[in-house]
């Protein structure tokens, strides 16, 4: 069987790297072309298990580089796109929003144009390219903030509250427009907060682990009552595979873990696992290090995802709950550090 090429953007990132490993394991008739700019949050070390796979290739490049994209689509005859590449740190978007507009909006536009030009050079799909799919990875943050009850569905109105969320909402709408206007076979997914091994150090759970093991204050924004729905990264990747393979054209799918925790609860659960797996040298519980810092501007109070559409249509279920997934995550980080607290 002739192998086809899937272009994965941002594949050296946290979620993208897990997805590439998952995809290569489950789709033996496909090759993966990983396009990544290798900005601060990317790390090719996440892909060591894939480096020797003959069906994997890495290209260092920018999704905003239209000539490069055109070259890659033609050279590798790209038949599918999974678009992870994005600037994603909310705090950074508040301090410096321009890169978020450039990558998340302009980069998505360039990628859509490249796909349209290669798959539909005369305004309609060329023969054999009718099922080529563009899947766009997005976030629940495009929906804004929830109250104490309720869930985001695929029909929830967009109400982004940070430059990051606004840039992702903009890119979502571009993807929708290319489906409606040009008939591009496109889908979008919105995920809740991902966690798991290999996440960048700036994120909440790695920060809690690092600060605790170094005996430093564990910073929690505001009163710590901001609630997120936590989704184990490999469960997210499994859902993306199903959407790419079986999702309906032009549809949006929500992916959530059904595991809500506020930030204080997350910190306490991580600390309890560290007490068990890597006790502090002085024998004191790590939760004593939890401290509260000034809240960030526009900090949404609660996100929660209704994944029932994805579950019913595609048969997806999250396999990890927060307890099992968090234990795997903490164990992985401890293994990277030699399993010891250092203060």
Residue 133, strand partner residues? 80
Tell me how far apart the alpha carbons of residues 235 and 244 are, in angstroms, rounded to a whole number: 14
Digit-coded pLDDT (tens) for 85-141: 999 878 889 999 999 999 999 999 999 999 999 999 999 999 999 999 999 999 999
Structure-token pair, residue 264? 């204080």
Digit-coded pLDDT (tens) for 234-261: 999 999 999 999 999 999 999 999 999 9
Digit-coded pLDDT (tens) for 71-81: 999 999 999 99
pTM value?
Answer: 0.95
Q: So where are the chain's domains?
A: 4-196+232-259, 204-225+261-303+320-337
For every residue of 19-55, DSSP letters joined together read: HHHHHHHH-TTEEEEEEE---TT--GGGGGGGTT-TT
Lowest mean pLDDT among 15-19, 85-89, 106-110, 207-211: 85-89
pLDDT at 88: 82
Average pLDDT on 279-295 reads 96
Name the pLDDT band for 7 (thresholds 50, 70, 90). very high
Average pLDDT on 316-325 reads 97
- Is 178 designated active site? no
pLDDT at 297: 87
Residue 177, strand partner residues? none
Digit-coded pLDDT (tens) for 139-154: 999 999 998 899 999 9
| CATH number given to 204-225+261-303+320-337 | 3.90.25.10
* % of the chain exceeding 70 in pLDDT: 98
Is the pLDDT at 287 greater than 80? The verdict is: yes
Please report, for residues 15, 183, 224, the alpha-carbon distance to residue 317 in angstroms, rounded to integers and kept in the order given: 18, 30, 29
| Neighbour order of strands in the sheet with 4-9 | 56-60, 30-36, 4-9, 78-83, 133-139, 186-191, 252-255
- Is 106 designated active site? no
pLDDT at 339: 54
pLDDT at 343: 38
Residue 6, strand partner residues? 32, 80
Classified by CATH at the fold level, domain 4-196+232-259 comes out as Rossmann fold (3.40.50)
Tell me how far apart the alpha carbons of residues 18 and 232 are, in angstroms, rounded to a whole number: 11
pLDDT at 1: 59
Is the pLDDT at 52 greater than 70? The verdict is: yes
Q: CB-based contacts of 231: which residues, under 8 Å, 6+ apart?
A: 191, 192, 193, 194, 195, 255, 256, 257, 259, 305, 318
Place of tokens 């050296």: 12
Element (H, E) at 195: strand 193-195
Structure-token pair, residue 273? 């696992």
The one catalytic residue among 36, 62, 87, 140: 140
Fold match between 4-196+232-259 and 204-225+261-303+320-337? no
CA nearest 23: which of 231, 241, 242? 241
Q: What is the mean pLDDT of the chain?
A: 95
Name the pLDDT band for 296 (thresholds 50, 70, 90). confident
End-to-end CA distance of the chain: 56
Name the pLDDT band for 61 (thresholds 50, 70, 90). very high
Residue 4, strand partner residues? 30
The one catalytic residue among 62, 141, 172, 260: 141
- Is 260 designated active site? no
The one catalytic residue among 164, 178, 286, 303: 164
Digit-coded pLDDT (tens) for 213-226: 999 999 999 999 99
Tell me how far apart the alpha carbons of residues 20 and 56 are, in angstroms, rounded to a whole number: 9
Digit-coded pLDDT (tens) for 172-198: 999 999 999 999 999 999 999 999 999
């Amino acid at each position: 069987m002739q192998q086809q090429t899937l272009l994965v953007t941002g594949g050296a990132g946290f979620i993208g790297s897990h997805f590439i490993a998952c995809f290569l394991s489950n789709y033996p008739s496909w090759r993966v072309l990983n396009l990544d700019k290798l900005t601060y949050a990317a790390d090719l070390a996440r892909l060591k298990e894939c480096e020797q796979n003959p069906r994997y290739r890495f290209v260092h490049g920018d999704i905003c580089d239209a000539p490069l994209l055109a070259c890659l689509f033609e050279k590798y005859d790209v038949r599918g796109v999974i678009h992870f590449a994005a600037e994603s740190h909310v705090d950074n978007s508040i301090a410096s929003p321009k890169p978020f507009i450039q990558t998340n909006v302009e980069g998505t536009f360039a990628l859509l144009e490249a796909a349209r030009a290669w798959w539909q050079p005369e305004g309609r799909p060329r023969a054999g390219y009718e099922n080529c799919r563009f899947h766009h990875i997005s976030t629940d943050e495009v929906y804004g903030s929830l109250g104490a009850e309720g869930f985001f569905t695929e029909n929830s109105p967009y109400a982004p509250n940070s430059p990051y969320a606004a840039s992702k909402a903009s890119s979502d709408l571009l993807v929708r427009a290319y489906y409606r206007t040009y008939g591009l076979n496109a889908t979008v997914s919105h995920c809740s907060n991902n966690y798991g091994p290999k996440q960048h150090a700036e994120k909440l759970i790695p920060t809690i682990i690092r600060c605790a093991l170094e005996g430093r204050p564990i910073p929690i924004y505001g009163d710590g009552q901001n609630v997120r729905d936590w989704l184990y990264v490999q469960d997210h990747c499994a859902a993306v595979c199903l959407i790419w393979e079986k999702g309906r054209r032009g549809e949006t799918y929500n992916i959530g873990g059904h595991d809500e925790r506020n930030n204080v609860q997350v910190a306490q659960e991580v600390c309890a696992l560290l007490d068990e797996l890597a006790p502090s040298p002085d024998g004191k519980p790590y939760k004593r290090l939890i401290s509260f810092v000034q809240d960030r501007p526009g900090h949404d109070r609660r996100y929660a995802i209704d994944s029932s559409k994805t579950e019913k249509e595609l048969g997806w279920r999250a396999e990890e709950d927060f307890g099992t997934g968090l234990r795997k995550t903490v164990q992985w980080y401890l293994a990277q550090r030699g399993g010891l607290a250092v203060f």
